Chain A
Amino acid sequence: MTASTSSIASRLEAAIGASQVTADPAVCADYAVDEIVPSVIAKPVSAEEVAEIVRFAAAENLAIIPSGARSKLAIGMPPSRYDIALDMTGLNKIAHYDPGDLTLSVDAGASFNDVAAPLYKQKQFLPLAVPFYFQSTIGGIIASGVDSSLRQAYGTARDFLIGAEFVNGSGSLTKSGGRVVKNVTGYDLHKLLIGSLGTLAVITRLNFRTFPLPPEDRGFVASFRTAEEALELRRLITESPLGPSSLELLSPQLMQLFFDAGKNSSEIPAAALDSLLPANSWHLCISVEGTSEVCDRSVRDLTQLATQASATNVHVLGLDDAEGPDLWHYIGQAVPMLLEASPSASIFKIAQLPSRLGVLLAKLSAIADQAALPQSLIARGCGVVYFALLPPVDDSDCLRRLAEAASAIFLLCAREGASATIPWCPTELKRSINIWGHPFTLSLEGRPDLALMRRLKSAFDPQNILAPDRLP
């Protein structure tokens, strides 16, 4: 431990108590972000303590990165500085839950599971079953800005986050929004926190509207020879009166990964996925919910539409059946599964207008083939694609090919009017590629909204001590 590290730790201890501060290098290593290890970990238990720590850091010009369960800390560019890891899991209470109002106010460090349980008791839920949700904190889910397949029906966090409390870079505890479902009092600053990766403020509390659990739900999988045919069914569904709760296109490679996962699972499912669904196919996986009459009608209509779109196979899953939860769990956790599938998995998040998805998917595939990299993808009905390049090894040749493919994908997306970022990739790759994509590497002149984002960053965090340079 260096002298300066020990003095940071001891002064932090004076502020919030020794039990909440550690400079043990072994522990600090667990909080590394892109291989950069903080000097000290502080674990506040109140918003006031968070403010105290941020004021201390501002006075000493130390950089802070807040984190929860650290399941999504890999998202972002490497921080330019990182002194204090702010472990938010000590702020973990449900501050307010009024089932009758369908509103919830929860500390940022509360785990998703701890929040989901009392909601479930009241037959309610938060549509935030994002990648890693089972180990995530609510604050981490919001700060990382990840989405879930349920956005098809429920939207993303920006549609149901109704207020927040947070500590800005000056160490002031501030708030926006409130605990009511409709509110235009003051600027919607809480929306800025979604996907901000801790760069604007340390989130201490979040207010949501909650949703009633549907009485029933049903899964429907249609299989196709080509992505184009599967996308045709997507189009037919969006032009029908049906309102599916999720609508996900899986590439043949991704379904194969799910088949394999099913085989390796310790619990043997009632019927293995690969006996129910054809291999080497594109699959459109749809969930519907409502009364049993609504579910029956939806499945009937979906079957008809799938035939119209030349599906080679359709399969209905009661989501209570053994195979149902498996497939839907896999769909929700496709990102972690893909990350495990390769030592240098790189997963792009690409957003495109749905009508142009077919062209985009074909070109993405060609880029992966050209780079001789295995690929896999899941595309949401709204046009958001998670496209994975999965090199079998992590040697320098693979990294070079990843970097070339990434440049080609950024260029392709810029030409196609899509946006592309790389939320998950090896730290190594970030040394040659800006994961925020092609537009962000343009000059400020070509990307004026980037200048606005930087102005906002300065307004929230004038000294640039919060997760510096993780966002462009």
Chain B
Amino acid sequence: MNPSLIRDLKKLLGSSAVLSLPEDLLLYQYDGSVEQGRPDAVVFPSSTEEVARIVKLAAKYNVPIVGRGAGTGLSGGALARTGGLMLVFARMNRILEIDIPNQRAVVQPGVVNYDITRAVEHAGLFYAPDPSSQKSCTIGGNVAENAGGPHTLAYGVTTNHVTALELVLPDGEIVRVGSKHGDAPGYDLCGLFVGSEGTLALVTEITVKLTRKPEAVKTLLTIFDAVDDASQTVVDITARAITPAACEMIDGWTLRAIEDYVHAGFPMDSAAVLLIEVEGLNEAVAAQAAAIDEVCRAHHAREVRTARDPQERELFWKGRKNAFGALGRLAPSSYVLDGVIPRSKLPQALRRIQEISQQYNFKIGNIFHAGDGNLHPIVLYDPRDPAQFDRAIAASNEIIRYCVEIGGALTGEHGVGMEKNELMPLIFSDADFDLMRRVHDAFNPDSSINPGKVFPLGKGCGEIRVRTQTAQTGPRA
């Protein structure tokens, strides 16, 4: 990278806010996915104005920029695919305003998701989207990826909870879109920017809705001796119009790995469990729990356990939310998929994943948001064996292809990033890409922000020459 850009950046931000030594940059070449991309420098702005100045400087030196929160993303969205400057929002982590009467919070992008809830729970409110990484992931990253989580089944994903954004455009202009009340006239720009994976602008301030905590919560752990029974139960719960707040499925093999690690009290000999939560008024929760119990038993559930107290509930969820960590103990690396399918096709999709697992001779775990058809098959592999990595990717792609074939999509909440961009033609036509590219270029015409993401490299944004670092250095070791 041009040393005079580093000099200018240090002059602008102070030297403690600029990293450019290779050993410092190493950490930033990874996120939660198997992808890699090393930035040439990392900067830590403290304000929107600094972000705007950095963007202008980068433009002057013709260097691409990528924004990053906590780096917990699962699709390479916050990796510097073509090198350049990485803008990390760690120092923009202030909650700027909490408006209890209107149930809004205005926050900087580096605020950790769960910290919003912690700041407002005294008033009986919480921030609803709850990705598994919610205790470390940042709200800026959530906005970029339109993050979900288990409770999005009832509450909706990030886009349903964001009403306004402050943005820095690739030319350094600062723009506000949406409104605090949430009914701004004109096109729904907020709805476009949320989930645009950092490819249109950098988000520097976010206004979110706060949700009233329910009066009652009941958490059910239902235990099955056959995976098919568990998935049929989910289909039936949906078909009977019961709307739980969360409906998570964990297969037996994954369950045992979790139990060894978390000791959540999960049964070691079951084929699958469903973790189902119902929320609302006492009267509603009682009725829903009874209806769910009935459906589970009709599908041969061995046992339906109800969490006795908040501690046990916490333990059930700890098992669910630490699942990926637990699996990390079983293999050197894992590849988490995020395909989404029509909910009624769950049983056949799980059978197909099982077939693919056998065909490729990989252990594939399943722990996912069953209630909204968002699968998370986890392919365990050893990255030291490059052939194994290739096979893991091939198996994964076959699963995703199947999801699309039965009416689903590539990704439900993790984003396309640089992981699934080459699979995008499974869903989109050339005309679709052309329009998306025109929308992209309306904001980010030179692909100076987050190049090499979302679009397949052959069909996307101008002439991006991408250094495929994964191919050079091998997958994460």
B416 at interface by CB-CB < 8 Å: yes
B411 touches A185 (CB 8 A): yes
Q: Does the CB pair B340–A448 fall under 8 Å?
A: no
Contact B442–A456 (Cβ < 8 Å): yes
A437 to B179 Cα, complex, angstroms: 15
Which of chain B's residues has its CB closest to A384's CB? Answer: B183
Contact at B186–A472, with CB atoms within 8 Å?
yes
Encoded as 1 (CB less than 8 Å from any A CB) or 0, chain B from 200 to 224 comes to 0000000000001011000000000
Complex contact A195–B414 (CB within 8 A):
no
Q: Which of A25-33, A292-300, A362-370, A397-405 contacts B (4 or more CB under 8 A)?
A: A292-300
List residues of chain B with CB within 8 A of the CB of A242.
281
Distance, CA A452 to CA B411, complexed state (A): 27
- Would A182 and B192 be within 8 Å (CB), given that A189-B435, A297-B283 are in contact? no
Among the interface residues A238, A353, A455, which one has the most CB atoms of the partner chain B within 10 A?
A353
Q: Which residues of B contact A294 (CB under 8 A)?
A: 280-281, 283-284, 287
Chain B 150-162, CB-CB to A under 8 Å as 1, else 0, gives 0010001101100
A63-71, A168-176, A259-267, A424-432: which lies at the interface: A168-176
Closest B residue to A296 by beta carbon equals B283
Stretch at the interface among B20-28, B261-269, B368-376, B385-393: B368-376
Given A188-B159, A293-B283, A459:B439 Cβ within 8 A: yes
The CA of A458 and the CA of B214, in the complex, are separated in Å by 45
Question: A192 contacts which of B182, B191, B212, B340 (Cβ < 8 Å)?
Answer: B191
**CA–CA, A457 to B187, complex, Å?**
9
B416 touches A184 (CB 8 A): yes
Most buried by A among B432, B436, B443: B432
Which listed residue, B189, B191, B241, B413, touches A123 by the CB 8 Å rule? B241
Count A-side interface residues using an 8 Å CB cutoff: 79
Query: In the assembled complex, which residues on chain A have CB atoms less than 8 Å from the CB atom of B374?
Result: 182
**Minimum Cβ distance to chain A for residue B424 (Å):** 7
Q: How far is the CA of A174 from the CA of B434 in the complex (A)?
A: 9
Interface flags, A196-220, vs B, CB<8A=1, else 0: 1000100000000000110000000
Q: Which of the 9-residue segments B36-44, B105-113, B341-349 touches chain A?
A: B341-349
Pick the residue among B101, B195, B410 that contacts A187 (CB under 8 A). B195
- Cβ of B400 to closest chain A Cβ, rounded Å: 10
Contacts of B287 in A (CB 8 A): 291, 293-294
Interface code B273-304, partner A: CB below 8 Å = 1, 0 otherwise? 00000001111101100000000000000000
Contact call A241/B215, Cβ cutoff below 8 A: yes
B residues near A172, Cβ cutoff 8 Å? 431, 434-435
Q: Which residues of B contact A440 (CB under 8 A)?
A: 185-186
Please determine whether B431 and A184 come into contact, CB atoms closer than 8 angstroms. no
Choose among A98, A178, A188 the residue that contacts B194 (Cβ–Cβ < 8 A).
Answer: A188
For the complex, what is the distance from the CA of A471 to the CA of B282, rounded to whole Å?
Answer: 46
Give Cα A241 to B125, complex, Å. Answer: 11
Q: Is A355 an interface residue (CB 8 A)?
A: yes
Residue A282, interface by CB 8 Å: no
Contact between chains at B281 and A297 (CB < 8 Å):
yes
B284 to chain A, nearest CB (A): 5
Q: Is A180 an interface residue (CB 8 A)?
A: yes
Pick from A241, A421, A455: contact of B212, CB below 8 A: A241
Is B365's beta carbon under 8 Å from chain A? Answer: no
Given A182-B412, A351-B181, A436-B186, CB of A100 within 8 Å of CB of B439: no
Q: Please determine whether B102 and A353 come into contact, CB atoms closer than 8 angstroms.
A: yes
Q: Which residues of B contact A456 (CB under 8 A)?
A: 187, 189, 192, 439, 442
Q: How far apart sit A461 and B408, CA to CA, in the bound complex (Å)?
A: 29
What 0/1 readout, one digit per residue, does chain A (224-238) give for beta carbons within 8 Å of chain B?
Answer: 000000000001001
Given contacts A100-B239, A241-B214, A448-B173, is CB(A194)–CB(B188) below 8 Å? Answer: yes
Instruction: Enumerate chain B residues within 8 angstroms of A99, measured Cβ to Cβ.
Output: 239
How far in angstroms is the closest Cβ of chain A from B231? 13
Task: Tell me the complex Cα distance, A182–B195, Å.
Answer: 12
Residues of A near B195 (CB, < 8 A) are 184, 187-188
Tell yes or no: B325 within 8 A of A by CB. Answer: no
The answer to whether the Cβ of B352 comes within 8 Å of any Cβ in the partner chain is no
Residues of chain A with a CB closer than 8 A to B192's CB: 187-189, 191-192, 456
Smallest CB gap from B235: residue in A: A100
Q: Which residue of B lies closest to A455 (CB)?
A: B442
| Complex: A252 Cα to B411 Cα, angstroms | 50
Instruction: Say yes or no: A185 contacts B410, CB within 8 Å.
Output: yes
B306 interface hit (Cβ, 8 Å): no
- Tell me if A184 and B434 are in contact (CB < 8 A): no
What's the least CB distance linking A424 to chain B, in Å?
A: 14
Which residues of A from 361 to 393 have beta carbons under 8 Å from B? 382-384
Known: A351-B179, A355-B101. Contact between A183 and B188, CB under 8 A? no
B103 within 8 A of A: yes
Contact present for B435 and A459 (CB under 8 Å): yes
Is A269 positioned at the interface, with any CB of B under 8 Å from its CB?
no
Residues of A within 8 A of B215 (CB): 241
Judged by a CB distance under 8 angstroms, whether B409 is at the interface is yes
Q: Point out the residues of chain A lying under 8 angstroms from B342, CB to CB.
A: 98, 101, 103, 179-180
Docked CA distance A290–B242 (Å): 11
Known contacts A294-B284, A436-B186: A179-B411 contact under CB 8 Å: no
Partner of B281, one of A189, A298, A352, A421: A298
B189 lies within 8 A of A101 (CB): no
* Given A181-B372, A383-B181, also A354-B102 (CB < 8 A): yes
**In the assembled complex, how far is the CB of residue B476 from the closest CB belonging to chain A, in whole angstroms?**
23
Are A175 and B432 in contact, CB atoms less than 8 angstroms apart? yes
Fill in one digit per residue for A430-472: 1 if any B CB lies within 8 Å of its CB, else 0: 0000001100100000001110110111111010000000011
Chain B residue numbers with a CB within 8 Å of A174 are 429, 431-432, 434-435
Complex formed: what's the CA distance from A175 to B433 in Å? 10
Question: Could you tell me if A212 and B173 are in contact, using CB atoms closer than 8 angstroms?
Answer: no
CB < 8 Å neighbour of B175 from A452, A460, A471? A452
Asked whether, in the complex, the Cβ of B189 is within 8 Å of the Cβ of A353, the reply is no
Whether B373 contacts A182 by the Cβ 8 Å rule is yes
Instruction: Check if B145 sits within 8 Å of A184, measured CB to CB.
Output: yes
Q: Determine if B238 and A102 form an interchain contact, defined as CB atoms under 8 angstroms apart.
A: yes
A191's partner among B182, B191, B420 (CB-CB below 8 A) is: B191
Q: Decide yes or no whether B196 CB sits under 8 A from chain A.
A: yes
CB of A418 within 8 Å of the partner chain: yes
Chain B residue nearest in CB terms to A178: B409
Given contacts A421-B185, A452-B177, A456-B187, contact A183 B442 (CB under 8 A): no
Give residues of chain A (230-262) contacting chain B, Cβ–Cβ below 8 Å.
235, 238-239, 241-243
The answer to whether the Cβ of B428 comes within 8 Å of any Cβ in the partner chain is yes
- Cα distance A332–B441 when bound, in Å? 41
CB closest residue in chain B, given A159: B160
Report the minimal beta-carbon distance from A77 to chain B, rounded to whole angstroms. Answer: 12
**Counting CB contacts under 8 A, is A310 at the interface?**
no
Q: How many Å lie between the Cα of A161 and that of B392 in the bound state? A: 35
Residues of A within 8 A of B284 (CB): 290-291, 294
Q: Collect the chain A residues with CB atoms within 8 Å of residue B341's CB.
A: 180
Assess whether A287 is interfacial by the CB under 8 Å rule.
Answer: no
In the complex, the answer to whether B101 meets A184 with C-beta atoms within 8 Å is: no
Residue of A whose beta carbon sits closest to that of B146? A184
Q: Are A185 and B441 in contact (CB under 8 A)?
A: no
CB distance from A250 to the nearest CB of B (A): 19
- B401 on the A face (CB < 8 A): no
Q: Pick the residue among A176, A194, A459 that contacts B442 (CB under 8 A).
A: A459
Contact at A184–B344, with CB atoms within 8 Å?
no
A96, B350: Cα distance in complex, Å? 24
Query: CB-CB < 8 A to A168: which residues of B?
Result: 435
Known pairs A102-B238, A183-B411. 5 more at Cβ < 8 A?
A241-B281, A242-B281, A243-B212, A449-B176, A456-B192
Interface CB pairs A-B, < 8 A, 25: A98-B344, A101-B344, A155-B160, A174-B432, A176-B432, A181-B343, A182-B157, A182-B373, A184-B416, A187-B436, A188-B159, A188-B194, A188-B195, A189-B435, A194-B188, A213-B241, A238-B212, A239-B124, A241-B214, A293-B283, A355-B99, A448-B176, A450-B186, A452-B177, A462-B438
Q: Which 4 A-B pairs have the closest CB atoms?
A: A212-B241, A191-B191, A351-B183, A241-B215
